[in-house]
DNA sequence: TTGCTCCTCACGTCACGTGAGGTGGC
DNA sequence: TTGCTCCTCACGTCACGTGAGGTGGC
């Protein structure tokens, strides 16, 4: 996603521009716990972000805009992702193929849930598109009929 | 859209169910002027709706949900439609082919604007779908690799 | 040191949700 | 007449916008 070579730290204004949001929105998402301030930052000091944070915010914004998820629902998505990342780290150590398989299957189910939401929206949009192009065609016919007079 | 034979009048609760909204939402849209109460209804009496109102509300809800338009933007869409419907009625009387053509072209432009919004969303959803199915494939590969152990 | 961006309240807004108390119409 | 749905305020909520007044860091 990000083409940065170094993990240059960023401030909130830059992150807002990169994600098409505002500083207020980013602070609000942080307040709701939508992404983690691992390093707890002293009160009053500037927030500091990495490329990974930009990716995270971009994903949140996209799921919100395109699928119409609420921030409460997005929090659950994010928490599920974090939980799987943690377990993944554990299994990388334990090396039990059966449980690794289990974990991978759970990830699949999670992604498939999102995919079905995406496809549902696509279907609705296709229907809307059909209706609109139908209207357009109807108008085109009328214009042609006028030309033949 | 509607399969009713008679134009049976409806009350707000039924309309809410048919459009997947709530009475509150419908009253709010009316308050903002998103659809017209042609017959000005005496204070305190029940609102009365037709199948045409149901269609209108369904369209508003769909544009809002799928394209993410605000109610302010939707009001402009609705007003533009109403304006065109009025002019259309006029031209049905006057019968000037040149002006009819002009009006039809304006309708086309209006619909094309909406179509481009729909297609933009479709592109974004396709990108999201690609990413998600890419992830899914990646996981499937990993599961296969585990099976080969 | 000067500017700019950032900080934290805190109130405003949009799009409704949710009662409270009362009336309409089959 | 009884029930149900509807009515109108009016306050609450979610997802931020928008200042006000002050501090951080290149």
% of chain B residues with pLDDT over 70: 93
The integer distance in angstroms from the CA atom of B145 to the C1' atom of D11 is 59
> Residue ranges of the alpha helices (H) in A38-96?
51-67, 71-94
**pLDDT band of B2, cuts 50, 70, 90:** very low
Which of the nucleotides lies closest to A27 (Cα–C1')?
Answer: D16
Which of the nucleotides lies closest to B23 (Cα–C1')?
Answer: D6
B68-88 residue pLDDT tens: 999 999 999 999 988 888 888
The integer distance in angstroms from the CA atom of A44 to the C1' atom of C2 is 21
The helix (run of H) or strand (run of E) holding residue B45 is none
B63-72 residue pLDDT tens: 999 999 999 9
**pLDDT band of B4, cuts 50, 70, 90:** very low
**pLDDT band of A3, cuts 50, 70, 90:** very low
Q: Which residues, in sequence order, are CB contacts of B33 under 8 Å at separation 6+?
A: B75
Distance CA B108, CA B102 (A): 10
A124 and B66 within 8 Å at the Cβ level: the answer is yes
* B49–chain A nearest CA distance, Å: 24
A85-124 residue pLDDT tens: 888 888 788 778 888 888 889 889 999 999 999 999 999 9
pLDDT of residue B88: 82
What's the full length of chain B, in residues? 149
How confident is the model over A32-51, as a mean pLDDT?
Answer: 86
Whether any strand D atom is under 7 angstroms from the Cβ of B42: the reply reads no
B129 and A119 within 8 Å at the Cβ level: the answer is yes
Give this prediction's pTM.
Answer: 0.89
Residue that has been written with the tokens 């609000």 in this structure: A28
Distance CA B118, CA B111 (A): 11
pLDDT of residue A103: 87
pLDDT of residue A108: 93
CA-wise closest residue to A36 among A49, A19, A22: A49
**pLDDT band of B62, cuts 50, 70, 90:** very high
Whether any strand C atom is under 7 angstroms from the Cβ of A11: the reply reads yes
Distance CA B15, CA A50 (A): 49
pLDDT of residue B6: 58
Residue B139 has pLDDT above 90, yes or no: yes
The integer distance in angstroms from the CA atom of A7 to the C1' atom of C3 is 27
A149 and B125 within 8 Å at the Cβ level: the answer is no
The helix (run of H) or strand (run of E) holding residue B28 is helix B23-31
B111 and A135 within 8 Å at the Cβ level: the answer is yes
Report residue A102 as tokens.
Answer: 């289990």
How confident is the model over B89-104, as a mean pLDDT?
Answer: 84
């Amino acid at each position: 996603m990000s083409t940065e070579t170094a993990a240059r730290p960023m401030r909130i204004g830059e992150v807002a521009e990169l994600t098409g949001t505002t500083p207020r929105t980013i602070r609000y998402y942080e307040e709701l716990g939508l992404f983690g301030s691992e390093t707890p930052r002293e009160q009053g000091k500037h927030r500091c972000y990495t490329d990974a944070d930009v990716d995270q915010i971009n994903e949140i914004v996209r799921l919100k805009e395109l699928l119409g998820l609420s921030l409460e629902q997005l929090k659950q998505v994010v928490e599920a992702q974090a939980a799987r990342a943690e377990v993944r780290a554990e299994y990388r150590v334990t090396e039990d193929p059966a449980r690794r398989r289990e974990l991978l299957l759970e990830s699949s189910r999670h992604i498939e849930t999102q995919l079905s939401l995406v496809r549902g929206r696509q279907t609705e949009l296709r229907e809307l598109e059909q209706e609109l192009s139908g209207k357009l065609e109807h108008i085109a016919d009328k214009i042609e009929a006028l030309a033949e007079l």
